[in-house]
Amino acid sequence: MEQDEQEEKKQISYGKLMQKKDFDENTFIPNSVREKIKNTPFYLFIFIPADDLIKLSIFPCQNSDVKKILIRLKEFSPDLVKGISDVLKKFNLDIGTIHTTGLCFEAINCFYETYIDAATLREKNISIEKVRDEFLHVQRVREVKIIDIDIDSN
């Protein structure tokens, strides 16, 4: 548990997948909200913790193979943003992107992360490792981790 808490502090967000049947049975989401969300087999919950609150976003997903690409940065800069954008364009990742964000907790503790539908990569014959390697070649990128998003198994 302590390890999980430490990992969360090294990320902007963390995510969990939920199957449709569990989503439909969940009572904390009001029916009026549930009815507005597209009917899909899976739902990605992204939690963004802050000091006194947690922002929760829910994204409908067609499959359960969701990956988070977590990029640790030296700092944000215009050339870094362009480099990340160039990688996204090179692999046409906008089609499979579910959510993306970037944030600096301190001047030296900066992250960019994107949640992607990994099935779209497979359909294009692109390996997630190749995408990771391309991000590693962007100036001011320190580290790139690929994180599997698990299905919640309460």
pTM: predicted TM-score of the whole model, two decimal places = 0.84
* Predicted confidence (pLDDT) at residue 2 exceeds the cutoff of 80: no
Q: May I ask the CATH architecture of the domain 66-148?
A: 2-Layer Sandwich (3.30)
* Predicted confidence (pLDDT) at residue 38 exceeds the cutoff of 80: no
* Predicted confidence (pLDDT) at residue 8 exceeds the cutoff of 70: no
Q: Please report the pLDDT score of residue 120 as a whole number.
A: 87
The domain spans of the chain are 2-61, 66-148
Cβ atoms within 10 Å of 16's Cβ, excluding its own: 16
Dihedral (C-alpha) 46, 48, 53, 59: value to the nearest 10 degrees? -20
pLDDT in tens, 69-112: 999 998 888 898 899 999 989 988 888 889 988 888 766 688 99
* Predicted confidence (pLDDT) at residue 113 exceeds the cutoff of 60: yes
106, 97, 115: which is closest to 17 by C-alpha? 115
- Which residue pairs from 76-81 have beta carbons closer than 8 angstroms and sit at least 24 positions apart in sequence? 76/102, 76/104, 76/110, 77/140, 79/139, 79/140, 80/138, 80/139, 80/140, 80/141
